[in-house]
Amino acid sequence: MKREFFEKRLNKYEVELVNMKKKLNIFGLFRLASILISFAALYFYYSGNGTKNNILLVSCILGIIIFIYCVLEHNKTKKIVSKLKELIQVNKKYINRFDGTWIEFKDKGNEFLNKEHKYSSDLDIFGPKSLFQLINSTRTTFGRKRLANLLKSGKRSKEEIVNRQRAVEEISEKIDFCQNMASPSEQYKGEDGSKELIDFLKNNNRVFKNLNLNILINVVLFLDISLVVVTYLIGENYLLVMLLLLFSHGVVSVYGFLKSSNALGDIFKFKDTLEEYQNIIMNVKKEDFEYKYLQNMKNELFKDKKNVGNAIDELDKIMYRIQMRYNVVTFIIFNILLLGDFRCILYLERWRNEYKDDIKRWFEVINEFECIVSLSVLVHINDKVSYAKIHEEGTLLKSTKLGHPLINEKERVCNNVDLSNRIFVITGSNMSGKTTFLRTIGISLVLAYAGAPVCAEELECSIMDINTSMRIEDDLNAGISTFYAELKRIKKIIDSSNKEKKMIFLIDEIFRGTNSNDRIIGAKSVLHSLNQSWIIGGISTHDFELCKLEGVANNRIANYHFQESYENNKITFDYKLKEGKSTTANAQYLMKLIGIDIIKD
């Protein structure tokens, strides 16, 4: 899709928003006018007499009817305005993805950053300018975590990958569905109470042991009202009776408040997210799907009367009751008079007994829909994507016009790659594209294994563990130098290779932190260890000595390079992968370019 497509949608929703705001103001004015007319008619009705009174009474009733209608329409319009604002933000986010300002999105997935992870830190999966920052459209905490797990768990079954690929392919064509499902926010608001709800469902301990307590509460309230009515009818001091009853209710309600506060407070954290789940459920319910995987997911949510829609609606009603305890006036009415906290807990525990075996499973399905919508973003912002052809056998990686998804499509340079049963030694001058190429391979495999589209004309790959060593940092507190940190990282890769499971490694400028002699010996040793039939990979270096390994050791090691060119005293790069070793270097040129004098021997 083109940027213009989303700009048109943005303009359309902005015009609709202006019109709806006008409509909202009109209903607001009519609402105010109708209630004022009703009050005025009621006043003159009681102060006048004769025929006029009947007209005034009718006017009062009509005013109330118009008021109620305006209130209902005002609320409907308010929801439409809220939805239009969301859609405007969603389309603005898409435009940001086209113009590169998506790197300013606040939600970078920083809490998923892990320098010890075998590839996520090196491949920009999380953090600033990351894949997660680009595509995340989830609305819920659990959806967000599920997307993160998809991107960092790597290896999975072919069946799971293919199912998600076809799901993404279908859903990506449903642009209205995707935008209605997508979060309009650029910022993560923090934990949303989902965990507390699941913990409550797992916990079988009741706050009040007897679920028949609700019957007792109703009986007590009936007797209370009966006692007040009887004392009033026989002429006794019913006000004193009412005060005594209020006092006793107050004592009981305080007990109920203290007993239930923790449970109700924890559950109430879920209130805001409840609306997000309702939005997702509503959109899934009204959408028809062709692919069996998506149909099964939808059926899982709505297969019988005991479905997720009913469960969430019931919980919403309970949340509404819980909300009353946070307002002084409604607390007095709801809690002291009607013993509301007891009722809330009882309703909540009955709800738990009814749905405790289903909610977690339903949430997983909902969160999977969120992930599929997020993965479809790549289809919407790229004209040329494809879905990887997955192989269960061998160590295959072959692609035509493979590009990096975090680079804008207009600036992206794509390369053909055939790394099947091979190890690349990649040379080239500084800034020529070696590191970006390695990252392109890595992040493309992450997307392929997640079931997402990749930025390539075609990609075939086996299911392999991904291991990288690129972004190495020292640790002063632990007394670990950059070189030692890299040694530890390389050792982990070698240890993984010893498991004899299919693996791909991507190592950037190996052992850059030591002298050239030790670096060459070390690099040769690493390549010797990793030159196994179940392993493929790529290693970038400035040491041409490693290029001599081509053609030896099982004939699996091959030389490739990137190069620069000079014209009118300017350096340019084409970022195209070429066979053979590099024959150029540009370090001295770059030094001169920034003003460092070069001493000639």
CATH number reported for the structural domain that contains residue 413 in this entry: 3.40.50.300
Among the listed residues 483, 490, 536, the one whose alpha carbon sits nearest the alpha carbon of residue 513: 483
Residues 413, 338, single domain; the answer is no
Residues 391, 487, single domain; the answer is yes
Domain tally, the chain: 3
Residues 346, 413, single domain; the answer is no
Largest separation between any pair of C-alpha atoms in the chain: 119
**pTM for the whole structure:** 0.84
pLDDT tens column, 289-303:
999 999 999 999 998
pLDDT tens column, 574-596:
999 999 988 766 666 666 666 66
Q: Determine, yes or no, domain membership for 397.
A: yes
Sign for the pseudo-dihedral over CA of 390, 391, 394, 396: negative
Residues 558, 431, single domain; the answer is yes
For the residues 178-196, what does the mean pLDDT come to?
78
C-alpha distances in Å from residue 513, one per residue of 348, 510, 516, 520: 61, 9, 9, 12
Residues 432, 473, single domain; the answer is yes
Residues 245, 300, single domain; the answer is yes
Residues 70, 210, single domain; the answer is no
Residues 10, 28, single domain; the answer is yes
In the three-class reduction of DSSP (H, G, I as helix; E, B as strand; rest coil), residue 331 is classed as helix
Instruction: Please check whether residue 372 is in contact with residue 171, taking contact to mean a CB–CB distance below 8 angstroms.
Output: yes
Domain limits for position 226? 194-373
Residue at a domain's end among 66, 95, 124? 95
Residue 564 pLDDT exceeds 90? no
Residues 363, 438, single domain; the answer is no
Q: Determine, yes or no, domain membership for 148.
A: no
For the residues 156-162, what does the mean pLDDT come to?
93
How far apart (Å, rounded) are the C-alpha atoms in residues 295 and 8?
31
Residues 586, 544, single domain; the answer is yes
Residues 317, 421, single domain; the answer is no
Looking at every residue in the chain, the average pLDDT score rounds to 84
Among the listed residues 44, 60, 63, 61, the one whose alpha carbon sits nearest the alpha carbon of residue 52: 44
Q: How confident is the model at residue 336 (pLDDT cuts 50, 70, 90)?
A: low
Residues 359, 394, single domain; the answer is no
Among the listed residues 455, 412, 418, 457, the one whose alpha carbon sits nearest the alpha carbon of residue 575: 412
- Bridge partners for 475 per DSSP: 480
Q: Which tokens go with 145?
A: 């975590």
For the residues 458-469, what does the mean pLDDT come to?
96
